[in-house]
Chains A and B, each alone.
Chain A
Amino acid sequence: MDQGHQEEEKSFWEKLLSIDRRIIFLFITVAVAVPLFFRLSLHIAVTPVAEGVYQAVQSLPAGSKVLVSFDYDPGSMPELQPMAEAFFRQAFRNDLKVIIMGLWPQGPLQANMALEEVFKDKDIAAKNLKYGVDYVNLGYTAGNEVVIDRMGHSFEESYPKDAYGTPIGEIPLMRGVRNYDNIDLIFNLSAGYPGTQEWVQYGVDVFHVKLAAGNTAVQAPSMYPYVQTGQLSGVLGGMKGGAEYETLLGIPGRAVRYMFSQAVSHAVICLFIIIGNLAYFSLRRRRKSQMEVQG
């Protein structure tokens, strides 16, 4: 290889390694944005952990009471909101009674947004679901994991009133609900603390409640061990988990639609990782051979 060619190749790899980060941002932007305009649905492989969530809900007889804890805020909407909507669809389709609560202040508001979306579904609208009879929103209460612990003894101590100020004793759905003994399943949507880990520690391992969860992708790997030990019935991990859940329900929604963007952006990131490594190892090899020549 002549010196000129070597210089040219060297500058090429060096250029790659010192590429302006804004060029990478541009590639990622295009990779995310362009697929959004295509209504392509990728094949979504369903994992056993996601199926665990679906089966936990599906196995409940009509009229069962499900507690849903919304422990996230708008920052995690793209990942968790599709899960919330899919969960409500499955619960209402199966005529389950849904009790909503939140350990994060904005959680119950996220629940209302999800309900609004789900009620647009003709099949669910036809059920003429009534607040206080088929579902109730208890709102937010402060106290983090202490709330979980306290609810194991008495719901009313933590939530004397619902989100709209009605005493829970006056809400038909809440009659006969004293503590977790009267709840058939808890579904937790979590983006951090307090969240699924606290539900496992203070709900599952103390009061032996049945728990399924939907988590942000950052959090999900920490939750998988709980599935393996049986502390969790299943986990939906990030947007992919939401897409799996929608696939299981047979109603492809936002999560499935977003997966095309997700896949393309991941491919671009992988490409950059490969190029970066090639450049790094190529330069390292060159420097090593130069040192051998000099030394």
Chain B
Amino acid sequence: MSSELIGVWIGAFLTLGIFSFLYKDNPFYKFSEALFVGVSAGYWFVVTFWQYFLPKLIDNLVLAYTVLTSQGRVDYHWVYLLGGGLGVLMLLRLFPTVGWLSRWSLAFIVGTTAGLQFTRYLESNGIKQVQGTILPLIVGGSLNTTVGNIVIVVGTFCGLIYFFFSKEHKGAFGGAARVGVWFLMITFGALFGYTVMSRMSLLIGRMDYLFQIWLGLY
């Protein structure tokens, strides 16, 4: 029996193990689930060691040390000590008496991430999207574009009005908010539809694996 065939059988066994939960919880499912969690944890440990710890920290510090000993100068690669130090502080969470020091690492992560993301989100998901809604309501010669533009402008405007809570939703304002709710409901419906499609796709993939690759039925 080739290793590929063994892999296919293990894949089929574990797929059926996970599917068995649909009937009810059972040891077969528990085993498959535990194996998945264990393998995932092991996989990510290896990835973290070989892709983060070794190349990003150790290799750079070795380089810095080599430059120091061979050329007698302090190379910029020593800055990686800072990252390594913050990593060590994070591990101090394991020791209750000095665990508070891990907050420094967390503060660094939160601060840099917020700073990095703020400008990017503002431009890509804020300013560009606002620009995208400033559209002509009537486009000569193209009914589709005209209707599309009206839907985008009205939908965005009414959707924003719905989230404006400083004024009571009454009269024309309330009407616009209700239109906004309709747009939101249609959006949620579309999102649900796409989610269903995504989940069905995954099921189709596993079924195809079982019937074609494992059993060879077609």
Chain B: interface secondary structure? helix
A5 sits at the interface (CB 8 A): no
A153 sits at the interface (CB 8 A): no
Q: Give A206's nearest chain B residue, CB to CB.
A: B120
Kindly state the interface size class of chain B when it binds its partner: 35 or more
A36 in contact with B211 given A216-B198, A238-B198, A240-B197 (CB within 8 Å): yes
B203 sits at the interface (CB 8 A): yes
**Once the chains bind, are B194 and A237 in contact (CB under 8 Å)?**
yes
Give the distance to chain B from A41, nearest Cβ to Cβ, in Å: 15
A145 and B116 CA atoms in complex are apart in Å by 10
A167 sits at the interface (CB 8 A): no
**Once the chains bind, are A217 and B195 in contact (CB under 8 Å)?**
yes
A25 and B120 CA atoms in complex are apart in Å by 43
**Once the chains bind, are B124 and A32 in contact (CB under 8 Å)?**
no
**Once the chains bind, are A221 and B23 in contact (CB under 8 Å)?**
no
B35 sits at the interface (CB 8 A): no
CB contacts under 8 Å to A, within B175-200, are 187, 190-191, 194-198, 200
| Of the residues A78, A197, A229, contact of B201 by C-beta under 8 Å | A78
Q: A36-B204, A37-B217, A221-B191 are in contact. List 11 more A-B contacts (CB 8 A).
A: A36-B208, A37-B218, A75-B202, A76-B202, A79-B198, A141-B51, A205-B123, A221-B190, A231-B128, A238-B194, A265-B203
Instruction: Report the 4 A-B pairs with minimum CB-CB distance, sorted nearest first.
Output: A78-B205, A217-B198, A229-B132, A201-B120
- Tell me which residues across on chain A come within 8 A of B91, comparing CB atoms: none
B47 sits at the interface (CB 8 A): yes
- Tell me which residues across on chain B come within 8 A of A218, comparing CB atoms: 194-195, 198
Q: Give B48's nearest chain A residue, CB to CB.
A: A142
- Tell me which residues across on chain A come within 8 A of B206, comparing CB atoms: 78
Q: Give B217's nearest chain A residue, CB to CB.
A: A37
Chain A 97-140 against B: per-residue CB contact (8 Å), 1 yes, 0 no? 00000000100000000000000000000000000000000001
A22 in contact with B22 given A77-B205, A201-B124, A258-B204 (CB within 8 Å): yes
**Once the chains bind, are B124 and A200 in contact (CB under 8 Å)?**
yes
A63 sits at the interface (CB 8 A): no
CB contacts under 8 Å to B, within A236-270, are 237-240, 254, 258, 261-262, 265-266, 269
CB contacts under 8 Å to A, within B76-131, are 116, 120-121, 123-125, 128-129, 131
A142 and B53 CA atoms in complex are apart in Å by 10
Q: Give B24's nearest chain A residue, CB to CB.
A: A22
| Of the residues A28, A141, A200, A266, contact of B197 by C-beta under 8 Å | A266
A42 sits at the interface (CB 8 A): no
Interface centre among A25, A37, A201, A228 (most CB of B within 10 A): A201
- Tell me which residues across on chain B come within 8 A of A201, comparing CB atoms: 120-121, 123-125
CB contacts under 8 Å to B, within A8-62, are 22, 25, 28-29, 32-33, 36-37
Q: Give B210's nearest chain A residue, CB to CB.
A: A33
- Tell me which residues across on chain A come within 8 A of B195, comparing CB atoms: 217-218
| Of the residues B43, B51, B125, B197, contact of A262 by C-beta under 8 Å | B197
A262 and B123 CA atoms in complex are apart in Å by 37
| Count of chain A residues with a beta carbon within 8 Å of a chain B beta carbon | 46
Residues of B within 8 A of A (CB): 22-23, 43, 47, 51-52, 55-56, 116, 120-121, 123-125, 128-129, 131-132, 152, 187, 190-191, 194-198, 200-208, 211-212, 217-218
Q: Give A255's nearest chain B residue, CB to CB.
A: B201
- Tell me which residues across on chain B come within 8 A of A142, comparing CB atoms: 47, 51-52, 55-56
**Once the chains bind, are A202 and B132 in contact (CB under 8 Å)?**
no
A269 in contact with B23 given A141-B51, A221-B190, A229-B131 (CB within 8 Å): no
**Once the chains bind, are A105 and B47 in contact (CB under 8 Å)?**
yes
A145 and B208 CA atoms in complex are apart in Å by 34
A169 sits at the interface (CB 8 A): no
A15 and B214 CA atoms in complex are apart in Å by 38
A217 in contact with B129 given A142-B56, A201-B121, A238-B194 (CB within 8 Å): no
- Tell me which residues across on chain B come within 8 A of A84, comparing CB atoms: none
Chain A 170-213 against B: per-residue CB contact (8 Å), 1 yes, 0 no? 00000000000000000000000000010011101110000000
The contact sample of 11 A-B pairs, CB cut-off 8 A, is A37-B218, A75-B202, A78-B201, A79-B198, A197-B124, A202-B120, A216-B198, A217-B194, A221-B187, A228-B132, A238-B198
**Once the chains bind, are A28 and B124 in contact (CB under 8 Å)?**
no
**Once the chains bind, are B51 and A265 in contact (CB under 8 Å)?**
no
A234 and B204 CA atoms in complex are apart in Å by 25
A238 and B201 CA atoms in complex are apart in Å by 8
